[in-house]
Structure 1
Amino acid sequence: MGEAAPLTPAPAVRVQGFGKRYRRQAAVAGVDLEVRRGEIYGLIGPDGAGKSSLMKAVAGVLAFEEGSIEMFGIRIDSEAAAERVKGRLGFMPQGLGLNLYPELSVEENIDFFARLRGVPAAEIAARKAKLLAMTRLDRFTGRPMKHLSGGMKQKLGLVCTLIHEPELIVLDEPTTGVDPVSRRDFWAILAELLREKGITALISTAYMDEAERFHRLSLMHGGRVLASGEPDAIRARTPGSVVELEAEPQVEALDRIQASLAQAESVGPRLRVFVDDAAPEAAVGTVAGLLKGLSLRDLHATTPDLEDAFVALLRRQRLVEERVVAKPRAGDGDPPGDDVAILAKDLTRDFDGFRAVDRASFTVHQGDIFGLVGANGAGKTTLIKMLTGILPPSDGEGRVAGADMHFAAQAIKARIGYTSQAFSLYQDLSVLENLRLYARIYGVARHAAGERIEQVAELTGLTGRERQLAGRLPLGIRQRLALACALVHRPRILFLDEPTSGVDPIGRRRFWDILVHLARVEQVAILITTHYMSEAEHCDRLALMHAGRIVADDPPAALKQALREEAGELLEVATDRPLAAMALLEQAGFAGVALFGRHIHLFARDAHTATREIQTILAGRGIGLASVTPRPPSLEDVFVYRITALEQGEQRL
């Protein structure tokens, strides 16, 4: 990078042949990696990939059976060796606020960790003030940790990890379950620490869209490393092109493509297809040839992202199961009937003077996939509880599946399916036993239950697994069992609360294949909450919630276009000294400046004018400019821009 601490023969971390077993089960095997000083190194992979075991071993809190770990040139093979480096290390375990004390306030938690880490009393105040300002927690110093949002807990955990100014920080999934604004804040903090302190970071995540932010990374699956290196180098290992298009009818187009190409998915109104080993023009020709006779719009090639590369790697190493979505069969699903599945009008819910949901209004039609996104504490869960009949509204009205929310809570519960993030399965029952139990709970007639169970098992790819215990299923399969249980009574509406958290990209794509089938073929209305902004792209419409209010309700494409009109074009700046360049561009007043690995993202009203201005600014400080490239904005960009603007407006009041 040209700005990090000088490289030395001893990297910050060197792992060789690492292996960890739990009883007879190998959690991690044969892992090699090297973290250079002054870089942000990522471990990417789903739950069960082995990330946490490796992170804990590096942090010195987990014994291991195979291989070796060195930190700053010191082999960690005894308690004495670990003691020699612990003052140079900061570790933040997985879980919201897991390293904090819930009854203590923000300031009391920081003071406790400062004393525990031996920070000189004369330095605590200055360090605390700096970190509180950086994390925007300075207005909440007296608030008990237990009353913080998920994002605030994670930022406080980071402050407590950094208070003794470690050279290396080990952060295990610090952004899981955290809203996109807090995630963006988190990465901004790391960029500032890298710029000011030259800190080294080893960070794990299940979010593939965060992979671009790492200098280098390792993709993990099943306890092994599939690939390591810079993001562009990993992409190069799976040559091919992505083709995007809109096609009518969409279901037929997707069936045709998936019959010939292994990596294709529906993303809202678009189809997204990865064509192996094909140049862009050839890939477009291949897809167009498969769809002869159908109506095609906006057919074009684009650059594969890291998730495309990860999925391709899994496929090529035969680490994925066969596609599972069943073909539609006559009679599947209830007829849509009333086109309006959910109608909310000024729904409001108060708790002891606190307004959790404030006059929320929206409509969901049968066959729609409707996304509900918002920061932790925005009111999403309360809104869902009102819609599902669990909580009565304080004010407003609504109809769900044709029933009035005020008077027909039981009727609503019988007509909807619900899958929570925790998956309400019986771990010691088999797949078939879980399905039979839910069929009885939902009142499915005995003579119809067997056929319906067979249908949902086929739809969700559980055929052949009926006798396996739910508790022993991989996370992605367990998730599909929870969905099958929610579908066994043929609901007209499906509520899904962050159903794919921690699931690998293949599992998420399989899950979305099923949801698209349910919506497009069986006309089931789906309301889903998610923190994966890439996943939110699949929705037909998105409602963005902030402080209990719905502040936007539009298709993803319309939200992105509104961002372009308001903020300008998103530009990616490549330079030989990104940290120094980032500081200069922030000082120059560019909007949305953020570090993405070795590149900088920002917004500009006019790309041509901005490029000349950037070149002038950087040249004046002797910083080389490699390129300025327009990029399509993501839904994360939309979310962060809108919520940040609202928060800033509230602070000015």
Structure 2
Amino acid sequence: MVETSRAATATSIDTPPSATGTSESADSKPVVQLSELRKNYGSTIAVDGVDLEIQRGEIYGLIGPDGAGKSSLMKAVAGVLTYDSGTLDVFGVRVDSERSAETIKDRIGLMPQGLGLNLYADLSIEENVDFFGQIRLIPKDVLQERKNRLLGMTRLDKFRARPMKNLSGGMKQKLGLVCCLIHHPQLVILDEPTTGVDPVSRRDFWSILAQLLREEQITALVSTAYMDEATRFHHAALLFDGKVLARGEPDEIAALVPGRIVQAKAEPQAEAFALLKETFPQSEAVGPWLRVFVDDADNEQATTAVTTRLENFQPQEIHVAEPDLEDVFIALLRRRGLTDDDHPASLGRNADSVNDGDGLAIEANDLVRSFGSFKAVDGVSFQVKPGEIFGLLGANGAGKTTVIKMLTGLLPPTAGTGRVAGADMRRAGQAIKERIGYMSQAFSLYQDLTVVENIRLYAGIYGLSRRMTRERTDWIIDMAGLAGRENELSGSLPMGLRQRLAIGCALVHRPQVLFLDEPTSGVDPIGRRRLWDIIFDLSRNEGVAVLVTTHYMSESEHCDHIAMMYAGRVFADASPSELKASLREASGQLLEVTTDNPLTALDVLESGGFVGVSLFGKRIHLLAPDPIQAEQQVREALGKKGVGVLSVSEQPLTMEDVFVNRVLALEKIDEGKQ
């Protein structure tokens, strides 16, 4: 049955008839309507009886891991993929044949998944836009006007002559969006547009989309694997294994699973975490904190349940909060028996623990790497202690991977020195390789080898004996939760299991230092949390130093220490709590504003000079040095424009807030020098 109750809820969203320039009856008619839609690929069911309704002028989100069915569903809506059963109406047209699909394609813009996959690598920015304009038969004068506007909005106008293949990931996605919008579509379909994109480009992308929604009254269907992006959607559907787990406004979805998040500190942390995991399967260690989801509990009940369990550990600094959408998503899966929570939280100590904690595990001193006249890394210094989880964060092209390649001996430095696991990186290349594990972003496993064959291959590369190979194989199978799948091809494994196996292969020789280059990219929330359980166990119980890069800013909270990079330099080096405290002191508290007209409010606050203004679904975030004064100013500014303020509340700063604000400040400095 088509979801009529959800449509009723959608009418309360800020999409008035005046905003779209169409009649009230046209506004109330769904742009997209699916009923019992199914799509199979042979014996694999990709979309399994999905019902959805998308209203005019809204951003509708499809949220779920790889293989959830998002791409298949979106391609069907775009008219480029047939489906097996059910009904699909787009703009009131029943899309059930190639002929009917052709009647709607000129009103749709499709951006496929993958950085720049709808672009041409050897064409420049301007040539790509012109090409898409020409195949859409846009008159030259209209194309020129629209091209100038969109390139200016995306800040790509200064790089018109740059070939697409030389663009950063964020620039490729913005160019892809421009080409998708050049013919002024009424519906844009964006398949994971921010995957693999750094946080600054992600926020920039969402700002552009919000501006287009405000100015051009488009409707957007957007998929994402980032749960934190759900707050930017007016309505969303959580997908898993081809089915809809939940749908509605983000707040409505969050309310489906009653419970509370309790955060506490307790020592020894690893033992306290293992104990909590026995009672509360949805627990995780996040930096110095233990974060626990307590089902069906209010604040007092949740606090009592956790503190009672930890009474022998004397828990400190206890905080209670509402669960976020990722917590809800995992809880929904857990209640349906779709998680692997039965796997032990702790892997246990190995008898011959590899690191005694003396000295430094990694030491980088003024590292420089030049490629011709370009300095990819410019004087980078930091230190990592044994048993520490160290995050190296930065936008695309900041130099993170180059730093890792120098430290692992894969790339010689132009200048500077470094030591890894006690060995000089310049002179002891083989010694370093024997003491480190490296899981690269692009390549880790042989897809056409089985699980066991991959492990044995890596064991052979590192010269392990037969006895040690058997012991390490058993350990990896247990650690990665691969029992019963030993003879499956690694390429056939789900992404989360594949990444666990890759970490296991990097650890087969028991290294003292582990380098992980974006290990959770493309992994679903369950898999990401399981990977971080493994990383936590390695650091706390085995003393392994872990250097990790990630684009998920929420994951940086797991790090004990963080170095942030920009243009080849480290501009911040501290713990997550210290970095957030620094931003709070410099720029103020994060305020969340809820209004009855968020798009108009966004325009008013942006033009009013408020700092860090961005749209999150129906809410607006901004930074305020004086929250009380800022609230008064917000209410006055919006009141003058007839916008009703429903609430203004303080929210905790996130690592994404820290990263984005610091990088944007550095970009402004660079622009001032030009």
Residue 466 (structure 1) aligned with residue 486 (structure 2): yes
Sort the Cα spacing of 1:592 and 1:329 in 2 relative to 1 into closer, same or farther, 3 A.
closer
Alignment-derived partner of residue 178 in structure 1: 197
Between stretches 353-362 and 23-32, larger displacement belongs to: 23-32
Letter of the 2:159 partner, please give it: F
- Given the alignment, which residue of 459, 484, 496 partners 1:476? 496
Alignment-derived partner of residue 237 in structure 1: 256
Alignment-derived partner of residue 182 in structure 2: 163
Sort the Cα spacing of 1:384 and 1:327 in 2 relative to 1 into closer, same or farther, 3 A.
closer
Pairs aligned (count): 653
Deviations 1:59-108 (Å, cap 9, x if unpaired)? 11111212121111001112221121111100000110001111111111
Alignment-derived partner of residue 520 in structure 1: 540
Deviations 1:422-481 (Å, cap 9, x if unpaired)? 452222322222212211111112232212221232222223332322222111111111
On the 8 A contact 2:15/2:58 being kept in 1, the answer is no
Alignment-derived partner of residue 334 in structure 2: 315
Residue 206 (structure 1) aligned with residue 225 (structure 2): yes
CA distance in 1, matches of 2:369, 2:607: 43
| Post-superposition offset of 1:327 | 4.0
Paired residues for 1:392-431 under 5 Å: 392-431=412-451
Letter of the 2:333 partner, please give it: L
On the 8 A contact 1:325/1:458 being kept in 2, the answer is no
| Post-superposition offset of 1:605 | 1.0
On the 8 A contact 1:49/1:223 being kept in 2, the answer is yes
- Given the alignment, which residue of 502, 507, 528 partners 2:522? 502
- Given the alignment, which residue of 277, 292, 317 partners 1:273? 292
CA distance in 1, matches of 2:446, 2:417: 35
On the 8 A contact 2:14/2:599 being kept in 1, the answer is no
Paired residues for 1:347-362 under 5 Å: 347-362=367-382
- Given the alignment, which residue of 130, 135, 140 partners 1:111? 130
Paired residues for 1:7-156 under 5 Å: 8-156=27-175
Sort the Cα spacing of 1:561 and 1:337 in 2 relative to 1 into closer, same or farther, 3 A.
closer
- Secondary structure of the residue aligned to 2:153 is helix
On the 8 A contact 1:371/1:529 being kept in 2, the answer is yes
Between stretches 326-335 and 344-353, larger displacement belongs to: 326-335
On the 8 A contact 1:324/1:460 being kept in 2, the answer is no
Letter of the 2:190 partner, please give it: L
| Post-superposition offset of 1:582 | 1.2
| Post-superposition offset of 1:330 | 4.9
Alignment-derived partner of residue 8 in structure 2: none
- Given the alignment, which residue of 14, 39, 62 partners 1:2? 14
Alignment-derived partner of residue 3 in structure 2: none
- Secondary structure of the residue aligned to 2:570 is strand
- Given the alignment, which residue of 297, 305, 310 partners 1:291? 310
On the 8 A contact 1:325/1:459 being kept in 2, the answer is no
CA distance in 2, matches of 1:355, 1:485: 33
Alignment-derived partner of residue 434 in structure 1: 454
Between stretches 1-10 and 280-289, larger displacement belongs to: 1-10
On the 8 A contact 2:76/2:82 being kept in 1, the answer is yes
On the 8 A contact 2:277/2:345 being kept in 1, the answer is no
Alignment-derived partner of residue 595 in structure 2: 575
On the 8 A contact 2:232/2:616 being kept in 1, the answer is yes
CA distance in 2, matches of 1:325, 1:305: 22
Alignment-derived partner of residue 6 in structure 2: none
Paired residues for 1:440-455 under 5 Å: 440-455=460-475
| Post-superposition offset of 1:332 | 4.6
- Secondary structure of the residue aligned to 1:376 is coil
CA distance in 2, matches of 1:444, 1:358: 38
| Post-superposition offset of 1:507 | 0.7
Alignment-derived partner of residue 7 in structure 2: none
- Given the alignment, which residue of 611, 619, 624 partners 2:644? 624
- Secondary structure of the residue aligned to 1:362 is strand
Letter of the 1:31 partner, please give it: V
- Secondary structure of the residue aligned to 1:248 is coil
- Secondary structure of the residue aligned to 2:315 is strand
Sort the Cα spacing of 1:213 and 1:499 in 2 relative to 1 into closer, same or farther, 3 A.
same
Residue 553 (structure 1) aligned with residue 573 (structure 2): yes
On the 8 A contact 2:79/2:102 being kept in 1, the answer is no
Gaps of 5+ in 2: 1-12
CA distance in 2, matches of 1:119, 1:619: 41
Residue 300 (structure 1) aligned with residue 319 (structure 2): yes
Residue 614 (structure 1) aligned with residue 634 (structure 2): yes
- Secondary structure of the residue aligned to 2:367 is strand
- Secondary structure of the residue aligned to 1:340 is coil
**Cα root mean square deviation, aligned:** 1.2
CA distance in 2, matches of 1:3, 1:222: 32
- Secondary structure of the residue aligned to 1:139 is helix
Sort the Cα spacing of 1:329 and 1:546 in 2 relative to 1 into closer, same or farther, 3 A.
closer
CA distance in 1, matches of 2:670, 2:295: 49
CA distance in 2, matches of 1:510, 1:495: 18
Identical positions, percent: 59
CA distance in 2, matches of 1:116, 1:327: 57
On the 8 A contact 2:624/2:630 being kept in 1, the answer is yes
CA distance in 2, matches of 1:119, 1:138: 20
| Post-superposition offset of 1:9 | 4.7
TM-score (norm 1): 0.98
CA distance in 1, matches of 2:450, 2:65: 24
TM-score (norm 2): 0.95
CA distance in 2, matches of 1:156, 1:166: 16
- Given the alignment, which residue of 265, 277, 291 partners 1:258? 277
CA distance in 1, matches of 2:589, 2:221: 32
| Post-superposition offset of 1:338 | 3.6
